Amino acid sequence: MKFLRKIMTNKVIEASLLSTENYYKNLKKYQIPEVAFLGRSNSGKSTLINRITERKSLAKTSGTPGKTQTINIYNLRFSNDSEIHLADLPGYGYAKLSHKKRKTLQNMIIDYLAHREELVAAFILLDCRRKPTEDELELRDLLFSSGKSVSVVLTKFDKLNQKEKNQSKKQAASLFSLEPEDLLTSDIKGSVQTIVDRICLFA
């Protein structure tokens, strides 16, 4: 799979939290395309949302995994006047939550991905220091069967040396049927412009 490459520099000029829901069925329907951020607990979803929107506290961050247990919908407007909604889905795989709570969050994610009509693309955040888990591979299969566009973001990329970065990219590209150059990366000091531009493609 190859993504259309365009020479562009987009910027999020407006960003706001639109809604927060504990159940998929409570989500309002909108006539605006929506992309989703998915990842295990502590994969860096909230931090990345704050970075791409250049807002320090738009999405709540925590040193404790498993804090995001709702579907949070953000409205983003870009410098080219396009608009998109970004859905921050609950983190999954946090062992300290009860089995019942983990199952509830898992079903919420599955229902959203299977039935959300506004959803046009999903961004899976993977901690590049760890091999993809069974949860992540099941999520991959669900997304592939849905026919939605899938982007992979390797987070905490600055924690690896160059050899490890190449190995991480090669592994993720193989698992998600992508070219290594199609993978996105995120770290503390690097630019997130390529991620902003990728999201803007779906607006």
Give per-residue pLDDT as tens, 76-94. 999 999 999 999 998 876 5
DSSP at 93: -
pLDDT at 104 over 50: yes
Tell me if residue 194 falls in helix, strand or coil. helix
pLDDT at 70 over 70: yes
**Residue closest to 35 by CA, chosen among 9, 60, 12:** 12
Tell me if residue 187 falls in helix, strand or coil. coil
CATH number of the domain at 12-200, please?
Answer: 3.40.50.300
Q: What is the pLDDT of residues 113-148, one digit of tens each?
A: 989 999 999 999 998 988 888 878 888 888 888 888
* Torsion 189-167-141-92 (CA) sign: negative
Q: What pLDDT does 89 receive?
A: 93
Interval 151-178 mean pLDDT = 92
**Residue closest to 52 by CA, chosen among 172, 195, 181, 180:** 195
pLDDT band for 52, please (50, 70, 90 cuts): very high
Residue 52 token pair? 């791409």
Q: What pLDDT does 62 receive?
A: 62
How, if at all, do strands 149-155 and 184-185 pair? parallel
Angle, in degrees to the nearest 10, between helices 134-146 and 99-115 = 20
**Residue closest to 93 by CA, chosen among 119, 132, 146, 61:** 132
